[in-house]
Structures are given as structure tokens and as C-alpha cells.
Amino acid sequence: MIAKRLILKKFLKQKAKNDDEDWLNYFYNQPGSAPGTLEIEADALPPQISLIDYNLERAVRDEDLAPPQCRQYLETNSVSWVDVSGLGNASVLQKIGDVFDLHPLVLEDIFQIPQRPKVEPYADQLVIITQMVMLKDTEEGFRIEQVSIVLGEHYVLSVQEESHWDCFDPVRDRIQYNKGSIRQHKADYLAYALWDAIIDGYFPVLEDYGERIEALENEVISNPNNATLKKIYQIRRELLALRRSIWPQRDAINVLLRGESKLISPEVLRYFRDCYDHIIQIIDVIETYRELTSGLMDVYLTAVSNRMNEIMKVLTIISTIFIPLTFIVGVYGMNFNPEVSPWNMPALNWYWGYPVVWLIMLTIAGSLVVFFWRKGWFENMSGSD
């Protein structure tokens, strides 16, 4: 997983200006591999299987199951939610595929990450590939993880890359404590609830970026520097990755809204339309933030230019004041002997010569300062830093 993340980071840097939305298909199996081949990363976490089986009257939760133990729950009329976290054991993953009768290509899409978000209907299953994002705990930015959802008639199978974080806790609480209407519906409503939780997870991330952009605006105006420029580019890259994770989900959910799957009832289909509205809202916010960061770049360049102009104004004023003084000192520093020729330096032997020269230079400097002040050249110079 880590190796792929490092490659992905390098790839994003190279493609930061490319709006190709197929960037998630950058990783492939070895050329010539058979369809459905599973290649497991050496550092991938071992799979952990948890299950929640529920109906209107009761909810049963079980942890650390083996794949064959899930089969008994699938044979009941209650709704069974099997959650798999971790992709580090090909044998266990293959057994999961056997229990749920997953097509080899579906198994490859689920366990060979990352994949582009999509929805694929099958005869008795509906496969949803999506992207989940969450804020990082110790630093700015977000983490992204692929989540696969397989919807059957009486079950939902969800597969995640890692086990230590997800956005499904509210759904688990609603099932366990019978909150809302989730236990009154079938498996299609559970699939909606999971995808809705994933989509809602984008809003805290966007809120964080809104605060970062607002703070960056103040920094650009008050004290722009090289670190500010790096922050702008960093946010632009992260927003681009966020856009590429949510944009294909709009097309994926359109497949469901066409009503081509018999596993989703018309009533639940209306809830998926609400998901579609949320996705459009997220895309609009991301596009707005991208425009704001582009505008911040212009503001940064303008602020740096204005700051440079203020510095040049100060240097110009100082140079203009010292030009006549330098001329006077330069002329009377030549030390031509007036006794040799009457055309040589006059006033070298004056008794008050030195104080008179200082008085003349101070008068010229003071006159120039008053002249520049009346012209308004000293306005806003205190804010040039």
C-alpha cells in the first residue's frame, strides 16, 4: 500500500496540470496476467471481517469472523452487512469471493486498488466502487481510501483497505440502537446509507479547506513569502486529487438513477437522488475553491509586485535625496590647490566653509523631503513590510 501511495504521489506531481480523470487507472497488473488475478502488497494489513445481521426486531453484531461463517447469515431473510477491512491475505479474499459468489473481474476490481469509482450491475448483484476521504489526524490534508460495496438481495458486502478508520460508525449506531428507519428497510437502503456516509465525509474535508484558504488569503495580503506560494500550490494539488475522487462518482450514481437494477426499489432510488445532489454540491464547492486558489496566485503576485514597488519607492527617495549631496561632496573632494591657479577650487580656505557646506546639504535634503511629502510619496510607506 505504501509503495503505491509513494508512486501515486509522484504521479500526481507529474500530472498536477492534467485534468484527465482516468488517473486512478494508472496502476495495472503485470502485462499478460489472467483476468481476475490478485496481487497483494507485502505491507497490506490482514483482513478483518465483522458482521451485523439485523431486522426490525433485533440486531446481531459479530467480530473477527472467518469467511465460511458468513454463509449462514446470507441464507436468512434478515439483512446482513459484512464489512471486510484489510487486503493482506489473498487466500482469505478468495474465500470471501467464493462465499459471495463474486465474479473474478469483480474480485479483481475490489481487491486490486486503486480503481476508478463506478457502478456495475450484475444478474443478482450490484457492485459499487467509490472513494472515501477523511481528514488526517496530525497534519493538514486528507486521506483517501477505496471502498467497494456489493449489494445482494439480503446482504451488503463492504471492503476497505484499512481497518483503523472509516466513516461508517454512525451507520453502525443507527443499526445497533434502531435509530431512524434503517432497520425498516432492506439491503438496498443499507447500501444507500453507506454511500451517503462516504459522500457526507467530504463535507468536513471541504470545510477544513475553506478555513485554510481563508487563512491563506490573509497571509497573502499581509505577509506574502515563498512559504505562502508553496501552500497555494499544495492546496491546488490536493483539491485536484479531491476533485478526481468525487467527479467519477457523479457518473457512477447516474447508473443507479436510470433504474436498471432490480435490487434497488423506487423508494430507495429517491434517496440515491439525494446523494447525487450532495455530489453536485461537493463538486461545486471544489470548483469554487480551485478558482479561489487560482485567484490567490494572482493576489500573491500582485502583493509581491506592490511590495517591490514600495521598496523601490523608498530606495528612489533615498537615492534622490543623496544625489545632490553626493555631487557637492564629490566636487569639494577633488582638492585642487587654489594657489596654483585662480580657476582651481574656491572657498577651500574659508573660515566657515565646512559648516556652510553642511548647512547647504541639509537644506537641500530637507527641501527634497518636504517636496516628496507634498507630492504624497510617503503615503502607505509604513505598511510596505
Q: Measured on CA atoms in the order 367, 371, 373, 374, is the torsion positive or negative?
A: positive
Q: What is the pLDDT of residue 6?
A: 41
Cα separation, 56 vs 54, whole angstroms:
7
For CA atoms 331, 336, 339, 340, the dihedral sign is: negative
pLDDT at 15: 44
Tracing cell 596654483 back to the chain, one arrives at 340
Q: Is 37 exposed, middle or buried (0-12, 13-18, 19+ CB in 10 A)?
A: middle
- How many CB atoms sit inside 10 A of residue 2's CB? 10
Centre a 10 Å sphere on the Cβ of residue 277 and count the other Cβ atoms it contains: 11
Instruction: Spell out the domain ranges in the chain.
Output: 2-301, 332-383
Tens-digit pLDDT profile for residues 287-344:
999 999 988 888 888 887 877 887 788 888 888 888 888 888 887 777 777 777 777 7
Residue 24 C-alpha cell reads as: 486512478
Cell numbers placing 228: 505562502
- Give the global pTM: 0.74
Backbone angle region of 36, left / alpha / beta, with phi > 0 → left and psi within -120 to 50 → alpha: left
Rg over CA atoms, the chain? 35
Q: What pLDDT does residue 22 have?
A: 42
- pLDDT at 290 (0 to 100): 92
The DSSP H or E segment spanning 372 is helix 353-375
Q: Which pLDDT score is estimated for 40? A: 61
**Residue among 305, 152, 145 nearest 241 (CA):** 145
Arithmetic mean of pLDDT over the chain: 82
pLDDT tens by residue, 98-110: 999 888 888 888 8
Superfamily of domain covering 2-301: CorA soluble domain-like (3.30.460.20)
DSSP class per residue in 177-206: TT-TTGGGS-HHHHHHHHHHHHHHTHHHHH
Cell, residue 264: 434497488
pLDDT at residue 11, as a whole number: 44
Phi-psi region of 41 (alpha: psi -120 to 50; beta: other; left: phi over 0): beta
- Cell numbers of 352, please? 566657515
Q: Write down the pLDDT at residue 17.
A: 42
pLDDT of residue 261: 79
- The grid coordinates listed for 239 are 483539491
Sequence-separated (6 or more) residues with CB below 8 Å from residue 42 = none
DSSP state of 36: T
Q: Which are the contacts of 277, defined by CB distance < 8 A and separation ≥ 6?
A: none
Average pLDDT of adjacent 10-residue blocks, the chain of 385 residues: 42 44 45 57 77 91 88 87 87 88 87 86 90 83 90 92 80 91 92 95 93 90 84 91 92 84 89 94 94 88 80 82 83 74 74 82 86 73 48
